Each structure stands twice: as structure tokens, then as C-alpha cells.
Structure 1
Amino acid sequence: MARRYDDYGYSVDQLSPDLAAEAAGVRRRRRLAEALLEQSSAPIRGRMIGRVYVPASPLEGLANIGQAFAATKLSERADEQMAGIGRKSREEVVKEMARVRGIGEGMPGQVPEPASGPQDDTVPSVGGVKGDPRRAIEEAIMSQSPMVRDYGKLLEQRAAQKEMLAEQRLGRLQDRTMTLEAQAEQKGLDRESRERTEKRLDETRKEIAVIMADSRRDAASIAAGRANSKQQEIADLMASGMSREDAQGIAYGTRRVVTDPVTGAPRMVDIRTGQE
């Protein structure tokens, strides 16, 4: 579905919730300014009081001029505020993108500059942080910034494509392994051909081992990410006043909150038994 843009060139789904709420207030003030400006530009007419025609007062014209001036200032202020929201949005996206990319790419270790003194002083190195592409995708998808969420979905699609290509390559390598094993077992194969076949077979097995190692590493990363997500959910529930047992039950799907049919009060029950 195509995005709808306002007079400022922004779409609601481009801004984070806080900035979207702020932008909604600016738009309301802008519409008020437009209504006041339109009202102030209406021609001034006299009116009938009973059977007597009373011409328009010059003061009404002055009032309209004042209203037009106030409306113009209100509109200019709204434009300035919206420009500020645009800057905040760009800064927010840049900061969030840098955070997500930092998670995915990690941080290399650094050796700090030695302090002044003897040159043989040992300067300890600062350990780096290993990148976690899977966690970077999860963080991006859960971001408050819609644009960063879109970036996370794109990364997720690319990761899925990469996984699919790896599976296809693994299948081809396994087929090649079977073919080479059959060739190596052939009787009457000369020594040179056998050595060449065994060398190709060894190289193919190494490629398979690399792909399998990558797959195990990705699976471990996904499992660790899910575990961290569950622990964070449990911590958030406990912070709201829930017991650890109930928080763990909610996080792992073994307990749920239901409404008591008699009292109408919420209560926690076990999903399997329906009992508290």
C-alpha cells in the first residue's frame, strides 16, 4: 500500500511514536492557523439590525488584520517545529542505525596509546566485541524507528536468501561427494586419477564442514538471542510487580491471565490445567 504524505512531506509510518505524536500536534496547529487566516481574509460586511442597516466598523478590519498576523505567526511556528521534528527524526535514525550496525559488525580490539614513560612499559590491549548479525536483525525489527524496522526486515530477507543459497550449495556438494566417492571406489582406476579424485573429495568435504559450522553457529546465535529475549521479558514482567514464577510462565507460554467470571478480577492460571 502506498504511503500518504502530509504537507510537510512526512508519512505517519516514517516517524517514531514520540515524534509522530509531536508531529500530530504541529499539524493541528497548522490547520488552526489556516482556518484563522481564511476567516480573517473574508470580506467585512455590514448587517441588518431590525430594519436598520449597520455598516461594518473599521475596528473589525483591524481585528481581521490582527487575526491574520497571529495566524501567519502560528503557521510559521508550526513550520519551524516540523523542521525540528525532521532533524530529530534524521538524528534518531542515524543513531539507531549506527547502534544496530555496531551489534552486527562488532568492535575490533584496540591497543591504547602508551603513556609517557619508558618505552618498554607493557600496554594492555582492549578486547573487541564479536559481531552478532542475527541479534542486529532482531534489534532492528524491534526498533522504535519505522525506517530502522524496514532496514531490519530487509536484513532478514537477505539472511533468508543467504540461508537458502547455502542449503542449495550444501545439496550440490553432497551430490558431488557421492559422485566422487563412487569414482574413488571404481576398480582399475589409475593412481593419478585416484589421487585427483581423492583430493577433490577432500576439498568438497572441507567445504561441507565450513557450511555446517556456519549453520551451527547461526543456530546457536538464534538460540542465544531467543534466550536473552525471554530473560528480558521476564525481567520486565517482574519489574511490573509480577512474581518470578508467573513471569516465567507468561514468557514461556505455560501460564496466562484470565478474568474471573464472578468477580471480574484478573487471575493467573496454568494453561494445561486451567487452575491457579
Structure 2
Amino acid sequence: MECAVLSDPRNAAKIVRLHFHDCFVQDDTITLQGEKSATPNVDSLKGFEIIDSIKNKVESDCPGVVSCADILAIAARDSTVLVGGPDWEMYLGRKDSKTASYELANSNLPVPSEGILPIITKFLYQGLSVTDMVALSGSHTIGVARCQNYRARIYGDYTASESYLNDLRASCPAAGGDDDTVAPMDNVTPNLFDNSYYQILLRGEGLLNSDQEMYSSFLGVQTKQLVLQYAHDPLAFFHQFAQSMVAMGNITNAVDGGEVRRSCRFVNT
């Protein structure tokens, strides 16, 4: 992970995002539709080849022991540390699922256009609290968003400096632009894991509607207070982020008994 992040700091965000989506399940096969092509994942998730590389090295020294799920959880933790974020103790022993669910990936993963209540509901459904939701959203302090996911916002009621807004609109035109053009979700320190993401929300400059809703929605009484706290207290944010990452990493184990995959892209034959 150190080599990957040194070669491109954005790789840290890619791996953290993979862990969030827990999408490293398997590619489509003749008999099974994987999760990569689900709407929240397609053209969005990157970094699979980094996990492949790690898995290959681990398998060569320690075959059949360390799951892809554990590798992804550890890699996400190390990615966070490598760009200035907090460290935390890992719980290990996860198994890799033998199945995938395209339908659940579509229905359970939050999407950028959603309002605050549907997103809270999705976190609660996974056993995560509102505090977990706000803290975990702080991972957007690194990484980028696709034009497709913020176009409506920057041509609507978006509070930002004129120069920054002009730059966003120039790279993401209202019509005829490239949906895959990206912009950092934290335009202040995009490659540093810090609390500036929350400070951006205080100014109304959250790039994604789902982020800004945590502070601006009249329904977000609790989330607004948490955004304020993390914006002014980076240590509180780091502490809660670490706790919430542990909680998220232990949501569930494989319901099908699980296995340790030889290749993270496919179930064992």
C-alpha cells in the first residue's frame, strides 16, 4: 500500500472506497451476476488490481489462509494512515462470500443524489448509527467524485466562490460533457486525510448533495451537530472514524459459510 500511495495518492481513497462498498466479491460469470455492475459501483470503484497484487503476494507465502475480505480491511486501514489519518486495531478472521447480490448492491448502498433520511435508514439497516454515518462520510476528505454525480448540484443552488464554481462548470458542462470527469470532494487538501471536509460543509460547498445534506437539511438536527463538532475538533473526528471503521468492518460475516478465496475475483472451484 505504501508503494501504491506513493505512486498515486488517490489510490488511498480508492481502497477505502472499496472497503466501504465491500464490493470485492467477484466478477460476472456465466452463472452469476456480480456486484461491480450495480449502479452505485459501475464506473465508480477502482483499485481492484492493487488488492490482486497484495493477494498474490500473500498467497505465495501463506496460501489459503488470509481472506480477501481481511486484506481489503487491512489495506483500507493502512491507506488511511498513509495519507495522514488515524490508525486502529484490526479484528481478523473474515471469510469471503461464495455468492454476490447485484440487487442488494443496488438497494443497500447510498447514492450521491439521496436525501439524508434514506441514507440514515441504510446505515441503520446495517447496524451503524447516525454518528457512524457522519464519521464514515469524512472519508470523502480524500478521493474524487464523477461529474455525473455532482452536475445537478453545481447548476442548482450551490454555494461556492465564483472562481471555484467556474472551474467546476468548465470541466463538467451542463450538457454534452464527459460524465467521468472528476473533481475532489475536498478541494482544500484533497490528498490529506483531515477534517477540512467538514469545514467545507459549513460553507455550503459540499460537492455531493448527500454530503451537504448532513449539515444543511432541516431534518439533520443530529448530523448538523456532529458536522460542527468534527469541523472544529479533528481529534474527535479521528477517534470516531477509527471506531466506526471497526464497526463497519464487523457488520457481518459470510452467511454462506464463506471461504478463503485463491483469487479475489472469483469463488473457488
Query: Structures share a fold, TM > 0.5?
Result: no
Higher fraction of helix: 1
Higher strand share: 1
TM-score normalised according to structure 1 size: 0.21
Higher relative contact order (CA 8 A, sep 6+): 2
